[in-house]
Amino acid sequence: MKKIIAIVLAAGEGTRMKSAILPKVLHPICWKPMISYILETIQSLGVKEIIVVTGHKAELVKKFLGTNSNGHIKTVTQKGRFGTADAVGCTRKLLKNFKGDVLVLYGDMPLITPDCLQTLLRRHQGTNASCTLLTAVVKSPTGFGRIVRDDQGRVLRIVEENDASIYEKVIEEINVGAYCFDAQMLFEALKKVKPHNKKSEYYLTDTVSIMSKGRRRIESIATNNIDESFGVSSRNDLVKAQEIIRKRTLNKHIEKGVTIVDPQTTYIDDRVEIDQDTVIHPFTIIEGEVKIGKRCSVGPFCRIQGKTDISDGVEVGNFVHIVNSRVRKDASIANHTYLKDTTVGACSVAQGIPAKVMLRRIKND
């Protein structure tokens, strides 16, 4: 199997986000910057080397990556906004001696799954293709690049929405925005890309037609999960992505034997670990590096945060807030209790500082 390096494109300003503070890829979804999701997905495939192409507010993206990547992620900066082909071209020096495959993804697409990318990689390496791309068939393809094929079903090119003819715009197969390239073929094709389009940009998608004309093998796989094609461009998109990720996280716990009484009002961070036969009651928020054992009861109207460890058989009552605490086996946390940096002994009943007392103290301060 060829070695694989991933390139994540994260240089865009994201003007539709209307933010003066954050670049698009650092806007949070379910407590984590959106770029975290694609990075974690890549790493789950066993890909150890990742290059992130930064641009707008590059210093903030680099700071985040430096704090959270454990040194496995390199960055390059795209100095101008000349298009996606130019962005990938910025990695040329880092990859000049690399002879494996390159996985190219976007930092604003947090919903692509490991299974999907694994299938993409298997098709690419199993067919010895020069390029393999992810597609989907949708009824409303507006805004996406269309996949143009010949009579034998071979991919000829990708045409972007702004440059598509009226005949091409009715094509329902779209380019999702995930690719695997032979590295040497990719950089050969990038040299030939020209900004001959309405935006006068260098499109990465043009490498597909260049390879096709050069009789290189182009492969594709189609995803049946349209969520995987979803890119975040606005605050409304953040809301949609958050709801999808929230449901995925809840379903993961449900499938492992956790009862979630009302998924509509329950929010659980994907870093949280919950063991079998625990019941999570409505209006509960659990975030951070929280671990909850077997046969526990949590909520309703409960919030658990930080590095909190709740052992087996614990009952957490109504309107309870727990932060960075440890609750040992078979303990009980009384209603309206606030615990922070606390250890509760086994089989004991914890009556922390009532919420109304906390409010009184805050007002007095």
Q: Which residue has the tokens 């000049």?
A: 96
| E strand or H helix at 310 | strand 309-310
DSSP structure string for 102-115 = EEEEETT-TT--HH
Other Cβ atoms within 10 Å of 194 Cβ, number: 11
Q: Are 148 and 168 in contact (CB under 8 A)?
A: yes
Determine how β-strand 337-340 pairs with β-strand 353-354: antiparallel
CA distances from 220 to 3, 119, 155, 176, 325 (A): 20, 10, 8, 11, 49
pLDDT for 355 equals: 47
DSSP assignment letter at 26: G
> Residue-wise pLDDT tens for the chain (365 aa)?
689 999 999 998 888 999 989 999 999 999 999 999 999 999 999 998 999 999 999 999 999 998 765 668 999 999 988 999 999 999 999 999 899 999 999 999 999 999 999 999 999 999 999 999 999 999 989 989 999 999 999 999 999 999 999 999 999 999 999 999 999 999 999 999 999 888 889 999 999 999 999 999 999 999 999 999 999 999 999 999 999 999 999 999 999 999 999 999 999 999 999 999 999 999 999 999 999 999 999 999 999 999 999 999 999 999 999 999 999 999 999 999 999 999 998 888 887 655 444 434 434 44
Rounded to 5 degrees, φ, ψ at 301 are: 50, 55
pLDDT for 240 equals: 96
Amino acid, single-letter form, for residue 147 = I
Which residues, other chains included, contact 60 with Cβ-Cβ below 8 Å and sequence gap of 6+? 22, 23, 26
| Torsion from C-alpha of 179, 182, 187, 190, nearest 10 degrees | -40
Is omega for the bond preceding 195 within 30 degrees of 0, making it cis? no
Q: Are 97 and 149 in contact (CB under 8 A)?
A: no
Other Cβ atoms within 10 Å of 180 Cβ, number: 28
pLDDT for 357 equals: 43
Cα separation, 39 vs 47, in Å, equals: 10
Q: Are 161 and 143 in contact (CB under 8 A)?
A: yes
pTM (predicted TM-score)? 0.90
pLDDT for 13 equals: 84
Q: Are 60 and 79 in contact (CB under 8 A)?
A: no
- Structure tokens belonging to residue 308: 């909190």
pLDDT for 2 equals: 84
DSSP assignment letter at 145: P
pLDDT for 14 equals: 85
Please compute, for residue 118, the number of CA atoms within 13 A of its CA located in the half-sphere on the CB side: 8
Instruction: Convert 219-251 to b/e letters by CB count within 10 Å (16 or more is b).
Output: bbbebeeebbbbbbbeeebbeebbeebbeebbe
